[in-house]
Amino acid sequence: MTPPSIATLVRPEEATFSAADRDILASYWHPLAYAAEVGERPLARRLLDVRLVVYRGEDGIAVARDLCAHRGASLSRGWMDGGQLVCAYHGFRYRGDGTCAGIPAQDAGAPIPGRLRLRTFPAVVRHGLVWTCLRPPAAAAIPEWPTLSEAGRQTLEIPAAVWRAAAARQVENFNDVAHLSWVHAGTFGNRDEPRIQEYTVTERADALEFTLTYPQIDRDTFGVHAPAITAMKYVYTLSLPFATQLGVHAPDGRILDIFDVATPETARRTRVHMLLSRNYDQNDAGGPAIEYQMHVNSEDLPVVEDQYPEDLPLDLRQEIHIAADRMSIAYRKRLRAIGLTGEWIA
Amino acid sequence: MIDDPILLREWHVVARLSELAPGAVAAARLLGVDLVVWRSGDEVQVWEDLCIHRGAKLSGGRVADGCLMCPYHGWTYDTAGACVKIPAHPAQKPPARARARAYPVKLAYGLVWTCLGAPPAELPPFPEADDPTYRAIPCGPYHFRALGPRVIENFLDVGHFPFVHAGYLGDLQHTEIDEYAAETTDHGVIARDISIWQPDPDGTGRAAKVLYTYEVLRPLTARFTKAQGDQRFAMIFMVTPVDAERSAAWGIMVMNYSFDVPAEHIRAFQDEVTGQDRPIVESQRPELLPLDLQAELHLRSDRTAIAYRQWLRQLGLVYGTA
C-alpha cells in the first residue's frame, strides 16, 4: 500500500517542493542533527518543507512534527523536563513516543484525551547522526559505511552548515573532481594539473561509484612537512539521493574518508552534515583537521549558492556536459529514474 | 527577466568606467537578469552572469590573457563570448554551444551602458558633458528599494524641497510654488522656468530665487538645469531598473562656476540630499506609479508629474507602473 502524501504536513506558504517530488524524497532517510547536539533543549529542524522538533525522550531521541496538538504552538520553543518535552504555550508535556504525559491546567487525575499526541516519525541514530524518514517504509536503507567502525580510525564531526542551495547541487559539487583545480587551487587543488582522466561510473542498486586518481596538494595536518604533490586515489560512493562517501587513499596507506550528507530543508536550503574518518594524524582532538575541512567547504559554498538555475537541471539538455561530467550525468539520470522531476516550485 | 517591452529596448547604466580597471570583473543586475561586467584593456563586455556548463556565476571568476575564466572549472571565454578552453580536456575543442550570452555595450559619460534587447541608436543627450566651460562630477549609484518611475518622479518634484530638504534645497518659510508650464513632447517632457526659493543656491550663503528647467529624456532618465544669473548647474539622473523591487540611480552633475570647490564636497551634498529622499520614496504606496491620474490627488504644482505619467502611459511602460 502506498503511504499517504506528506503534503498535509506543510504550511502552504512554505511549500518549495512540488508535492510529488517531496513525497519521493520523503521516502528516504535524511539526517537532522548530530546525536551529540540533542540533549538539554529541543531542536527546531526543517525537512522537505516540514517543520520538525528533535528531542531526547526517556527512551532515546525522538522526532515529531513541530506542532503542539493543543493549540498549534511550535514545540521547539519549549524545553525538556525529566525526559519530557514541555510546550512553552500552556505547558503540555509529551513523551518520546508523542503521547501526552500531563496537562498542567487540569487536575492531575483528569483524563488526557487519546487524540492529544504528537505526529512522530522514526528516529534512528547511526554514524553519530539522527536520521528520520517522513514517509516510511523507506525506499533505501541508511548507508552502511563500515569503514567508520574499523579499528584504528578516528571520527570527526564537522559542524553542520546551512547552504542556500538545492541539496542535489551540493551533492553534485561534492562528487565533482574537475572543480578541484579551480575552486580549491592552492588549498589541495592542483592548478598545474587540471586534466581529468577517463573514468567509468558503476551503477549499484541504491548507489553510484567511481574511482579516479588526482595529483593533489598533500598537506599534513600539523604543518610539519612542506606540502607535496601526491597521486591520491579518490573512491566515491554516492548513496541516493544525497549521501556520499569519498575515500582519499594515499600510496603510503593513509586513508581519509569524508562523508557528506545533504539534508533538503527546502528546495533552496540544505543542511550539510560531514564526518571525517582517518587512520593517521590522530594525536589531537581533530581541531586542525576540522578547521581545514571547513575552509575547503567555504571555498565551495559561494560558487554553489550562486549556481543557476537553483535546482539541478535533470533535463540534460539544459547544460553542457563533458567527459569529466560522467558522474554528474549518471547522478541526474538516477534522480530522474527514482521519479524526481527537478521542477521544484520554489 | 522583467519583460517590459520599452525597457528591454533602452540603454541602461550598469557600471562606472573609472571603477572598472583593466582586468576587473564585476557583477550587476538589470531587469532581474544577473550580469557580469568585465574589462580587458579598453574593451568592456557585458554578459549574462552564467557559465553554461554548470550554471556558476562568471562574476566570481577572473580575467587572464584577455579572456574571462569561470571560477568553478576554469572554462575560459574570449571577448567574443566563445569558450576557447576546457581545462579538464585541453585537447578537446570546446563545443559550439559553449558560449556566453553577450549584450551590446556603449561607453559614454564615463559609464558602461548595456541593453537587453534591440538597442536604440542614441543615448540620452547630455551636451554639457562635452562642454569645456563646465566641469562634470559623477555621483551615485544611489540604491533604492523602490521602482524607477517613483524615483524619477521624486527627482522631478519641487514641491517637496521645503519639507524633505529644508535648509538644503528649500525653506519652510517659502513653500509656495509659482505657476509654471509643463508639456509632453515626442521625446519626453519639459517643464520650464520653475521658480524656487533656496536658502543657499550657489554656496555663497545668500538665499535667492532660482529657475529650474526639468526634462524627462527617456522613461527612466531625467535632467534639470538650475539657473541663477549666468550660473548654470545641471544634473542628469539615470535610473537602472535592477529588478522587481530595486533601482540604482546614477547621476552626473555639471556646473560652470565655483571651480575651486572640491568635487567631493559637491558630491557629499548630493549624497546627503538623496539620503533625505530615499526613505520617503521607499515608503510610497502603491509602489507602482499610478498612471491613472484619478488614483492620486494632483495639484497645479504637480504639472511635471502629471505630464510624466501621461507620457509613460503613451509609451506603454509596464515596469513600475499600474
pLDDT in tens, B15-36: 999 999 999 999 999 999 999 9
Instruction: Give residue A345's pLDDT.
Output: 64
- Reading across the β-sheet that carries A255-266, which strands appear in turn? A154-163, A269-278, A255-266, A243-249, A228-239, A207-218, A202-203
Are the Cβ atoms of A322 and B89 closer than 8 angstroms? Answer: yes
Partner residue facing A307 (CB), from B54, B89, B97: B54
At B230-273, the pLDDT tens digits run: 999 999 999 999 999 999 999 999 999 999 999 999 999 999 99
Instruction: Give residue A299's pLDDT.
Output: 98
- ipTM at complex level: 0.79
Instruction: Give residue B294's pLDDT.
Output: 86
Chain B residues at the A interface, defined by Cβ less than 8 Å, are: 34, 50, 52-57, 60, 70-74, 86-90, 92, 95, 97-98
Are the Cβ atoms of A324 and B88 closer than 8 angstroms? Answer: yes
Give the gap in angstroms from C-alpha B57 to the nearest C-alpha of chain A: 6
Instruction: Specify the DSSP class assigned to residue B170.
Output: B
Please state the pTM of the whole predicted model: 0.85
Which residue is closest to A195 within chain B, CA to CA? B88
Task: Say how far apart CA B237 and CA B252 lie, in whole Å.
Answer: 7
> Residues B181, B182, B187, CA angle at the centre, nearest 5°?
145
Q: Which helix (H) or strand (E) holds B268?
A: helix B263-283
Instruction: Give residue B298's pLDDT.
Output: 84
Which residue is closest to B93 within chain A, CA to CA? A322
In the predicted model, what is the mean pLDDT of chain B? Answer: 95
Q: Tell me whether A181 touches chain B (CB under 8 Å).
A: yes
Q: Are A66 and A54 in contact (CB under 8 A)?
A: no
Chain B residues with CB under 8 Å of A313 CB are 55
Average pLDDT over residues B182-211: 91
Are the Cβ atoms of A322 and B54 closer than 8 angstroms? Answer: no
Q: Which residues of chain A have pLDDT under 50?
A: none
- Window from A4-8, A298-302, B199-203, B224-228 with minimum mean pLDDT: B199-203
Partner residue facing B72 (CB), from A303, A313, A328: A303
Does a cis peptide bond (omega within 30 degrees of 0) precede residue B286?
yes
Residues B122, B125, B131, B135, Cα dihedral to 10° = -120
Are the Cβ atoms of A303 and B71 closer than 8 angstroms? Answer: yes
Are the Cβ atoms of A319 and B52 closer than 8 angstroms? Answer: yes
| Sign of CA pseudo-dihedral A183, A186, A188, A193 | positive
Please, which residues bridge with residue A140 across strands? none
Task: Say how far apart CA B25 and CA B20 lie, in whole Å.
Answer: 8
Instruction: Give residue A346's pLDDT.
Output: 52
How many beta carbons lie within 10 A of that of residue B49, not counting itself? Answer: 25
Task: Say how far apart CA A183 and CA A191 lie, in whole Å.
Answer: 10
Chain A residues with CB under 8 Å of B92 CB are 322-323
Q: Which residues contact B257 (CB under 8 A, 6 or more apart)?
A: B202, B230, B231, B232, B233
Are the Cβ atoms of A303 and B90 closer than 8 angstroms? Answer: no
Q: Which of B72, B93, B99 to mutate to test the interface with A (most CBs of A within 10 A)?
A: B72
CA atoms within 13 A on the CB side of B69: 16
Are the Cβ atoms of A322 and B53 closer than 8 angstroms? Answer: yes
Instruction: Give residue A225's pLDDT.
Output: 86
Predicted confidence (pLDDT) at residue B196 exceeds the cutoff of 80: yes
Instruction: Give residue A152's pLDDT.
Output: 94
Average pLDDT over residues B47-66: 97
At B86-98, the pLDDT tens digits run: 999 999 999 999 9
| Sign of CA pseudo-dihedral B127, B131, B133, B137 | positive
Q: Are B174 and B193 in contact (CB under 8 A)?
A: no
Cell of A192: 598545474
Q: Are A324 and A196 in contact (CB under 8 A)?
A: yes
Residues A121, A127, A129, A132, Cα dihedral to 10° = -20
Are the Cβ atoms of B57 and A308 closer than 8 angstroms? Answer: yes
Q: Tell me whether A213 touches chain B (CB under 8 Å).
A: no
Chain B residues with CB under 8 Å of A182 CB are 70-74, 87
Are the Cβ atoms of A303 and B60 closer than 8 angstroms? Answer: yes
Task: Say how far apart CA A153 and CA A328 lie, in whole Å.
Answer: 30
